[in-house]
Amino acid sequence: MSYNASSNTSSETNYPQQKDNRKLIYGILIAALIGTWGYIFYDKSQTRETVNLLQTRIVNVDSARNAIQQEFLSVSAKADSLTQNNIQLQGDLADKNSAIQKLKSNIGSILKKKNASDAELAEAKQMIGELKGKVDGLFAELDKLKGENRQLTSANEQLSTEKTQLTADKQNLEQNLTATKTEKKQLEDKVDVASTLHASYIVITAIKVSNSGKEKETGTAKRANLIRISFSLDENRVTPSGTKDIYVIVTGPDGKTITEGGTFVTREEGSKSFTSKVSVNYEQGKATPVSFDWKQKDTYKEGSYTIEIYNNGFKIGQGVKTLKKGGLFS
């Protein structure tokens, strides 16, 4: 009996101890479970944060790429307008435009990459800044050239206007000069005509010269040895003093000009043959007597001899001398 009591006592003593052990195990299991859940929760939290960071970075990268892309498109469009508005760039401007096109190509190559790195995007942004500077510089040069071209165009227009004015002035001067020359010619013609001398008191005498040299007026053809022509050159205040040529044309009874001289030019009938030429020393404003003898190579004929006197191309006087046949003693 004692044994059983002892056993019971021992069993009662061990039961609380076993109960405590279970609690300890449960506690450890619960703690482990909580730790596992905590780790899982922490790991998921870290993963979510990493994902969020990656997503944020992707968004930032895309945003940066888009901003760079927009900036590039803006600068590129401005660069393209250079060749659109200026069809032909020459010399230094063409070289600068070539450098701009090369930069555009390099930037475009980077931006086409889907997985472009931050360094590449930074390089693209740096090149876009360089591109913008080159484009702005080229625009500035073009604006300067356009300004200079406008100035040259304005100067050219001014020169054209001045040329037009000078041409008009020249035409006016030429017209005035022509008018002046015409007036001068008219005045010269008037003076020329006014300076022509006039013959008056024309006397034509047939002379018979004896062997002794004695002269006697005659009216018969067979007795005449010469014809003396006398006249007076009237006073003329326009004609200057000096030697004046007087041309005499004698037309015989047969109506033919007796040509013993040469030819001269008349104002109304052109060139004519003359019979005799006399040079007279004329004094301006004074009447000058003229007298000379004309001796025909052949014998004089019965009929009328017409004497025409010319000066300065104009006929200034005319007379007629008629010679008779004459009788046996006349």
Placement of tokens 């101890």 in the chain: 17
d(CA 111, CA 250): 117
**Alpha-carbon distance values, 220 to 208, 251, 298 (Å):** 9, 17, 15
| 199-323: CATH topology | Immunoglobulin-like (2.60.40)
Provide the 8-state DSSP code for 104: H
* Domain spans of the chain, in order of start: 1-194, 199-323
The confidence score (pLDDT) of residue 76 equals 72
What is the residue-level pLDDT of the chain in tens, covering all 330 positions? 444 545 555 555 565 666 667 777 877 878 777 777 777 766 666 777 776 776 676 666 667 677 787 877 877 787 777 666 655 555 666 777 778 888 888 888 888 877 878 888 888 888 888 888 878 887 787 788 778 878 888 898 888 898 999 999 998 989 998 998 888 888 777 888 888 999 999 999 999 999 898 999 999 999 999 999 999 999 999 999 999 999 999 999 999 999 877 899 999 999 999 999 999 999 999 999 999 999 988 889 999 999 999 999 999 999 999 999 865 555
Pick the closest to residue 259 from 224, 297, 230 (CA basis): 297
- Burial class from Cβ neighbours inside 10 Å (0-12, 13-18, 19+) for residue 16 reads exposed
What tokens appear for 52 in the block? 């969020």
d(CA 194, CA 211): 46
Number of Cβ within 10 Å of residue 65's Cβ equals 17
What tokens appear for 214 in the block? 């004695």
